[in-house]
Chain A
Amino acid sequence: MRVDILRQQSPESAPYWETFEYDGPMDNSVAGVLDYINYHDDVVNADGKPSIRVGWDCSCMQGVCGACAMVINGTPALACETLIRGLKAVELRPLRKFPVIRDLLVDRASIHENLMRTNMYIGEYQPSTENDHAHQYAAAKCLKCGLCLEVCPNYVNGHTFYGAAFANDCYLVASRNRAKAKEIGAVYAAHFGRDCSKSLSCVDVCPMKIPTLASMAKLNRNKAR
Chain B
Amino acid sequence: MKQVLVIGSGISGLACAIRCAKLGLRVELVSPYPSERSQSVMAAGGINAVTDRCEAGDSVACHIEDTLKGGGFLAGRDAVTGLCGHGAEIIRYLESIGTVFSVNAQGRPNYRAFGGQTYKRTYYCGASTGKQIVTALVMEARRFEAAGLICRRLRSCFHSALIEDGVCHGALLFDEGSGALEAVCADALVMATGGQNALFGRTTGSTQCDGYAAGRLFTQGAELKNLEFIQYHPTTLLTPQKRMLISEAARGEGGRLFYDENGRRVYFMEDRYGPKGNLMTRDVISREIDAAGRPVFLDVSFLDGRIIDERLPEIRDLCARYAGIDIHTTPIPVQPSVHFFMGGLAVHLNHETNIRNLFAVGECASIYHGANRLGGNSLLAAIYSGNVAAEAIAGRSGAGKHPDFGKMLREERGKLEKRRQTDSRFPVMYVRDMVAETMQKQLGIVRSEKNLADGLEDVDYCISVAERINYDPNVMPYFNYSLPALLTLARATLQCALFRRESRGAHYRCDYPETDAAYQCATLIAYNGGEPRTRLDKEGEYES
Which residues of A (1-46) have their CB < 8 Å from a CB of B? 25, 27-29, 31-32, 35, 38-39, 42-43
Q: Is A38 within 8 A of B206, CB to CB?
A: no
Q: Which residue of A lies closest to B473 (CB)?
A: A52
Which of A39, A42, A122, A177 neighbours the largest number of chain B CB atoms within 10 Å of its CB?
A: A122
Q: Is B321 within 8 A of A140, CB to CB?
A: no
Which residues of B (220-244) have their CB < 8 Å from a CB of A? 240-242, 244
* Contact string against A for B residues 232-260, beta-carbon threshold 8 Å, 1 for contact and 0 otherwise: 00000000111010000000000000000
Q: A62-B244, A127-B107 are in contact. Are A112 and B207 (CB under 8 A)?
A: no
Residue B273 at the chain A interface, CB threshold 8 Å: no
Q: Which residue of A lies closest to B241 (CB)?
A: A32
Which of A25, A32, A121, A177 neighbours the largest number of chain B CB atoms within 10 Å of its CB?
A: A121
Which residues of A (144-173) have their CB < 8 Å from a CB of B? 144, 172-173
Q: Is A140 within 8 A of B241, CB to CB?
A: no
Q: Is B140 within 8 A of A25, CB to CB?
A: no
Q: A59-B37, A60-B41, A122-B136 are in contact. Are A31 and B241 (CB under 8 A)?
A: yes
Residue B318 at the chain A interface, CB threshold 8 Å: yes
Q: Which residue of A lies closest to B472 (CB)?
A: A53
Which residues of A (28-86) have their CB < 8 Å from a CB of B? 28-29, 31-32, 35, 38-39, 42-43, 50, 52-53, 57-67, 80-81, 83
* Contact string against A for B residues 320-347, beta-carbon threshold 8 Å, 1 for contact and 0 otherwise: 0110000000000000000000000000
Which chain B residues border A119 with CB–CB below 8 Å?
142-143, 146
Q: How far does the alpha carbon of A150 sit from the alpha carbon of B120 in the complex, in Å?
A: 44
B98 to chain A, nearest CB (A): 4
Q: Is B207 within 8 A of A141, CB to CB?
A: no
Q: How far does the alpha carbon of A27 sit from the alpha carbon of B221 in the complex, in Å?
A: 46
Cβ-neighbour of A81 out of B34, B98, B321, B430 (below 8 A): B321
Q: Is A177 within 8 A of B126, CB to CB?
A: no
Q: Which residue of B lies closest to A35 (CB)?
A: B241
Q: How far does the alpha carbon of A133 sit from the alpha carbon of B125 in the complex, in Å?
A: 11
Q: Is B430 within 8 A of A39, CB to CB?
A: yes
Q: How far does the alpha carbon of A66 sit from the alpha carbon of B206 in the complex, in Å?
A: 12
Q: Is A141 within 8 A of B241, CB to CB?
A: no
Residue A195 at the chain B interface, CB threshold 8 Å: no
Q: Is A137 within 8 A of B97, CB to CB?
A: no
Which chain B residues border A212 with CB–CB below 8 Å?
none
Which chain A residues border B429 with CB–CB below 8 Å?
38-39
Cβ-neighbour of B135 out of A57, A63, A141 (below 8 A): A141
Residue B154 at the chain A interface, CB threshold 8 Å: yes
* Interface residue total, chain B, C-beta cutoff 8 A: 51
Residue B208 at the chain A interface, CB threshold 8 Å: yes
Which residues of A (117-148) have their CB < 8 Å from a CB of B? 119-125, 127, 133, 136-137, 140-144
Q: Which residue of A lies closest to B476 (CB)?
A: A55
Q: A53-B427, A116-B145, A140-B135 are in contact. Are A25 and B318 (CB under 8 A)?
A: no
Q: Is A58 within 8 A of B207, CB to CB?
A: yes
Q: How far does the alpha carbon of A133 sit from the alpha carbon of B128 in the complex, in Å?
A: 14
Residue A176 at the chain B interface, CB threshold 8 Å: yes
Which residues of B (447-476) have their CB < 8 Å from a CB of A? 472, 474-475
* Interface residue total, chain A, C-beta cutoff 8 A: 54
Cβ-neighbour of B139 out of A52, A121, A136, A143 (below 8 A): A121
Q: A39-B429, A61-B242 are in contact. Are A141 and B128 (CB under 8 A)?
A: yes
Q: How far does the alpha carbon of A123 sit from the alpha carbon of B142 in the complex, in Å?
A: 10
Residue A115 at the chain B interface, CB threshold 8 Å: yes
Residue A87 at the chain B interface, CB threshold 8 Å: no
Q: Is A65 within 8 A of B242, CB to CB?
A: no
Q: Which residue of A lies closest to B143 (CB)?
A: A121
Residue B100 at the chain A interface, CB threshold 8 Å: yes
B127 to chain A, nearest CB (A): 10
Q: Is A125 within 8 A of B97, CB to CB?
A: yes
Q: Is A42 within 8 A of B425, CB to CB?
A: yes
Q: A39-B429, A39-B433 are in contact. Are A125 and B98 (CB under 8 A)?
A: yes
Which chain B residues border A59 with CB–CB below 8 Å?
33, 37-39, 206-208
Residue A224 at the chain B interface, CB threshold 8 Å: no
Q: How far does the alpha carbon of A131 sit from the alpha carbon of B37 in the complex, in Å?
A: 30
Residue B303 at the chain A interface, CB threshold 8 Å: no
B250 to chain A, nearest CB (A): 16
Residue B103 at the chain A interface, CB threshold 8 Å: yes
Which chain B residues border A28 with CB–CB below 8 Å?
240-241
Cβ-neighbour of A109 out of B136, B154, B208, B472 (below 8 A): B154
Which chain B residues border A32 with CB–CB below 8 Å?
240-241
Q: A39-B430, A140-B100 are in contact. Are A64 and B41 (CB under 8 A)?
A: yes
Q: A39-B427, A109-B154 are in contact. Are A25 and B240 (CB under 8 A)?
A: yes
Q: Which residue of A lies closest to B208 (CB)?
A: A59
A168 to chain B, nearest CB (A): 11
Q: Which residue of B lies closest to A36 (CB)?
A: B240
Which chain A residues border B34 with CB–CB below 8 Å?
108, 112, 144
Which residues of B (187-243) have their CB < 8 Å from a CB of A? 206-208, 240-242
Q: How far does the alpha carbon of A171 sit from the alpha carbon of B107 in the complex, in Å?
A: 19
Q: Is A29 within 8 A of B241, CB to CB?
A: yes
Q: Is B97 within 8 A of A122, CB to CB?
A: yes
Which chain A residues border B128 with CB–CB below 8 Å?
64, 141
Q: Is B240 within 8 A of A29, CB to CB?
A: yes
The 5 closest A-B pairs by CB, nearest first: A122-B98, A176-B98, A121-B139, A32-B241, A140-B135
25 contacts between A and B (CB under 8 A): A27-B240, A32-B240, A53-B474, A53-B475, A58-B207, A59-B37, A59-B206, A59-B207, A59-B208, A60-B41, A61-B241, A62-B244, A62-B322, A64-B42, A65-B42, A81-B321, A101-B177, A119-B146, A121-B139, A122-B98, A123-B143, A125-B97, A125-B98, A176-B98, A177-B98
What 8 additional pairs, Cβ within 8 angstroms, besides A137-B132, A141-B135, A176-B100? A38-B427, A39-B427, A53-B427, A58-B207, A65-B206, A80-B241, A115-B142, A122-B98
